[in-house]
Amino acid sequence: MEETIKFKLNGKKTEAMIDPTQTLLWVLRNHFGLTGTKFGCGMGFCGSCTVLLDNEPVRSCQLSAGEAAGKNVVTIEGLATNGKLHPVQKAFVEHDALQCGYCTPGMIMNATGLLLKNPSPSLQEIKDGMENNLCRCGAHTRIVEAVQTASKEMKGGK
Amino acid sequence: MKEEHTKTQDYLQKDKPHGMERRDFFKILGGGIFIFFRPWAAIDLLGLPAEQARSLPKDYNAFLRIAEDGTVTCFTGKIEMGQGIITSLPQMMADELNVQVEKVKMVMGDTDLCPYDQGTWGSMSTRVFGPNMRAAAAEAKAVLLELASTQMGVPVSQLEVRDGIITDAKNPKSSVSYGQLAKGKKIEKFLDVKPAVEDYTKFTYVGKSYNHSDANIKVTGEAKFAGDLKLPGMVFARILRPPSHGAKLTSVDYSGAEKIAGTKVVRDGDLIAVINENRESADESIVKIKAEYSFDEMPVNDRTIFEWMLKADSNINVLRSSGDIEAGRQASDKVFESEFHDPYLAHTAIETHTALAQLEGDKMTVWASTQSPFGLRDGITRELGLPEEKVRVITPFIGGGFGGKGEYQQGIEAAKLAKLTGKPVMLIWTRDEEFFYDTFHPAGVIKIKSGIDKSGLIKFWDYNLYYSGARGSDTLYDVPNSKTTHYEQKRGGSPVHPFGTGAWRAPNNNANTFAREVQIDIMAAAAGMDPLEFRLKNLKDENLRACLKAVADKFGYVAGKTPSGRGIGIAIGIDAGSWVAHMAEVKVDKTTGKVQVIRIACAQDMGLCVNPEGATIQMEGCIMMGLGYTLTEEVLFEGGNIQNRGFDSYTIPRFSWLPKIDTVILERKDKPPQGGGEPAIIGIGAVVANAIFDATGARLYRMPMTPARVLEALKKA
């Protein structure tokens, strides 16, 4: 049954008439047209669908839309502000930390969540924090470097 | 280098007619200067012997256009899947035409806009397509210079070109731009000159590092992959799948599925699908279908497959032979016999096979994640009985291919469903379907007999390859008596592989390099020689020797006999025209059998490197991906039933595996560019196996080298 779900989406108060048992992933993609959040496995194993829920990285394929009610959802489309890339996005471009780019939104959202919680992660903490996001092209080494760079920039308050 | 692949609307643009003929280009694209070109031999285009190559439907397979605004566009059937040709091909074009790299655009993988191309694989785009594209650019420049010469009234020899502007060298105030020259013109040239080898050292853009030109739209979520498109009235489809390969549907009841709100069940013979405007309702519906099957599966599984292959009635094909194996055996002081096993592997691109299909009137358009847009077009033509000119395939960005998207079953399925339902149909394979219908890297057995004399020279090499492909099976080393025999599927015989197999990044070279380089390592150890010294002693190939030297320098290699306890391995190989050498250091936990790769260095000679940044990224990616087939990846199956169909049971490399990676690209500006997307993956299995031996004395003959297999090998050590 459809019902009205209210939540904050990429900084804006949002209301949607949706079936709250649908996953947040497909509501974002199909209802809101926010297709930056990717489907990779639908089982929470790959991390391509990672979004921030109240600043916490979550697998949107494992979360019902109803669970997002009253919360603050940020997707890859909501990360840049006024056309200016978020430091994590910027660092991914600078380090060329992607190849096919399919896992990239999930990587960036997970890294952003990681840095919000721990602004100065060690190399090991970055690897641990990113462990469950999968990249098949093998961009890992550059992703780690990008997270290190973003960490520095975010701490500098830029 | 601006991307063509930005907005949904670009893909959904429907005003272009289908089945474009050459004469139509002017009508559709407006005026300008057009150069049509093609690769020069069937083998260039297809990677196949000429007699196997299909005849080309057109007399050219790409073209470039200089538009009235000075923009240079290359229309090609190649696609971008992360390998970076959207960045590197414009570099080559910009240099040849003397325009700014930003002025070059690529239009890729659209069967209506781009001429025929067989597919994007085999590391062919740069080494084969590239030179032809450059020749076309040179021809375009010649046309432009002629036009300028006429317009300015000075001989061509007096003209200079820079950034798309032609200037009279004697009167610098007199100049004209490419755009001005192209204005109002309709010039069509067919490139008839085989490209000459150019002086690569003169270039401005080629050889310089560029970041991915598509990075900006990929970090914002703006880049569109096939599954990101949406059409009015679009429905999501799920297809009823058999539980195993070889299963046949005997009865089906879909009354349960039809009870789900908004779901419709459609059927055409064995194709049974549900459609719903919500993806998850389609998911919910498909499991409500009750189906029964009969089973006729091959009595083979992932444990018995190797014996199964050795017993099979095979076609025996001697690929190479020189000298006399028996004489070589007689001349040997020590003889070695090994049997290597390599399993089936899945591609597991993070984007599953996806397609959106729409039938409008009698015109079918399919947006698909495929490495082979023209193959899909031909498949739809064949299976749906549509004329070629009524089928258009468009490839948006592709979320990884690795050979697995050379196949395009999902595109044909989506097209059939669009025809059946009369609606635009989005088909996104589940991860389960992706594992089930993948065209796996084929399992194989490699048996090697070889021998060395007292001085450590290899005297014979008898290489026997069962059911894995021959790429990379060359002996490489300088051996007087050698023979390579391929045991293959017999034509008309019962199939040996229980399911579909296909190309997997550097197809089969991983297995061949693993077997060869481990065997070399075995002989080096038996000879009591340092494995680098042993290789150099038996190797004349100067390019490989240079790679070995470069990698040893980068790695800081210190000679030592194995097993030294240090955990250091070496491997070399050739793939896609490039030479590579690897060194690695590993740690082996002797109580658990777990292997951690500490660092890997790789040196690569790929001829002229067009984009060093892009090439380095490909090398890093190869190394990381290679750790998967080396340590964990293996398709488990029982008959036709694929048992590991998820990332929980089929483990691919993760961040915790990340070794320190060092790469060296040898300076080879004098040689034409070679393949870069695959070579650096071929040595990973071998280099790790040899490092495990050096660490522990345990010899691994079977990939992947799981903790259980390492423990087993430790017991024998």
Residue range B413-429, pLDDT digits in tens: 999 999 999 999 999 99
Q: Which two tokens stand for residue B374?
A: 């023209």
CB B635 within 8 A of CB B440: yes
**Range A87-155 classified under CATH 1.10.150.120:** yes
Q: Which two tokens stand for residue B541?
A: 């190939």
- Tens of pLDDT, residue by residue over B295-311, are 988 899 999 999 999 99
Q: What pLDDT shows up at residue B582? A: 98
Distance in angstroms (rounded) separating the CA atoms of residues A135 and B464: 35
Residues 6+ apart with CB under 8 A from B9: none
Residues pairing with A77 in the sheet = none
Going by pLDDT thresholds of 50, 70 and 90, the confidence category of residue B13 is very low
Sorted by where each begins, the domain ranges of chain B are: 8-219, 226-295+353-428, 305-344+440-716
Of A69-73, B136-140, B302-306, B619-623, minimum mean pLDDT range: B136-140
Place of tokens 């979360």: A63
Q: What pLDDT shows up at residue B2? A: 34
B229 φ, ψ to 5°?
Answer: -85, 155
Q: pLDDT at residue B19 above 70?
A: no
- Looking at CA atoms only, how far is residue A122 from chain B in angstroms? 13
**Range B305-344+440-716 classified under CATH 3.30.365.10:** yes
SS3 state at B357: strand
Most confidently modeled range among B23-27, B214-218, B657-661: B657-661
Distance in angstroms (rounded) separating the CA atoms of residues B408 and B559: 49
Task: Tell me whether residues A36 and B220 touch, CB distance under 8 A.
Answer: yes
**A76 closest CB neighbour out of B221, B279, B349:** B221
**A48 closest CB neighbour out of B222, B228, B350:** B350
**Range B8-219 classified under CATH 3.30.1370.100:** no
- Looking at CA atoms only, how far is residue A70 from chain B in angstroms? 23
Q: pLDDT at residue B3 above 60?
A: no
Q: What is the mean pLDDT of chain B?
A: 90
Q: What pLDDT shows up at residue B396? A: 94
Q: What pLDDT shows up at residue B40? A: 47
Task: Tell me whether residues A130 and B655 touch, CB distance under 8 A.
Answer: yes
**B219 closest CB neighbour out of A42, A89, A102:** A89
Q: pLDDT at residue B51 above 50?
A: no
CB pairs under 8 A between A and B: 174
Cis peptide before B704 (omega within 30 of 0): yes
> Torsion-angle region of residue B215: left (phi > 0), alpha (psi -120 to 50) or beta?
alpha
- Looking at CA atoms only, how far is residue B587 from chain A in angstroms? 18
CB B571 within 8 A of CB B633: no
Question: How does DSSP assign B574-602, residue by residue?
Answer: EETTEEEEEEEEEEE-TTT--EEEEEEEE
Place of tokens 């936990």: B589
Sites in chain A below the pLDDT cut of 50: 158
CB A133 within 8 A of CB B350: no
- Greatest Cα pair distance in chain A: 48
CB A61 within 8 A of CB A44: yes
Q: pLDDT at residue B121 above 80?
A: no
Going by pLDDT thresholds of 50, 70 and 90, the confidence category of residue B673 is confident
- Looking at CA atoms only, how far is residue B120 from chain A in angstroms? 14
Q: pLDDT at residue B686 above 80?
A: yes
Q: What pLDDT shows up at residue B201? A: 67
- Tens of pLDDT, residue by residue over B445-465, are 999 999 999 999 999 999 999
Cβ of B218 under 8 Å from any chain A Cβ? yes
Query: B226-295+353-428 — its CATH code?
Result: 3.30.365.10
Q: What pLDDT shows up at residue A158? A: 46
Q: Which amino acid is at B408?
A: Y
Q: pLDDT at residue B113 above 90?
A: no
- Tens of pLDDT, residue by residue over B283-298, are 999 999 999 999 988 8
CATH architecture classification, A3-78 = Roll (3.10)
- Tens of pLDDT, residue by residue over B183-237, are 888 787 776 666 565 566 678 888 888 888 899 999 999 999 999 999 999 999 9
Q: Which two tokens stand for residue B666?
A: 């040898």
- Using CA atoms of A21, A24, A25, A28 in order, give the dihedral in degrees to the nearest 10: 120
Q: What pLDDT shows up at residue A157? A: 54
Question: How does DSSP assign B122-177, residue by residue?
Answer: TTHIIIIIHHHHHHHHHHHHHHHHHHHHHHHTS-GGGEEEETTEEEETTEEEEEEE
Q: What pLDDT shows up at residue B402? A: 94
**Nearest residue in chain A measured CA to CA from B348:** A136
CB B502 within 8 A of CB B403: yes
- Of residues B69 and B708, which shows the higher confidence score? B708
Q: 0.90 cut: is pTM over it? A: yes
Task: Tell me whether residues A102 and B430 touch, CB distance under 8 A.
Answer: no
What burial class does residue B256 get, using C-beta atoms within 10 Å of its C-beta: 0-12 exposed, 13-18 middle, 19+ buried? middle
Sorted by where each begins, the domain ranges of chain A are: 3-78, 87-155
ipTM for the whole predicted complex goes beyond 0.85: yes
Q: Best residue in B220, B224, B260, B277 to probe A by mutation, most A CBs within 10 Å?
A: B220
Q: pLDDT at residue B45 above 80?
A: no
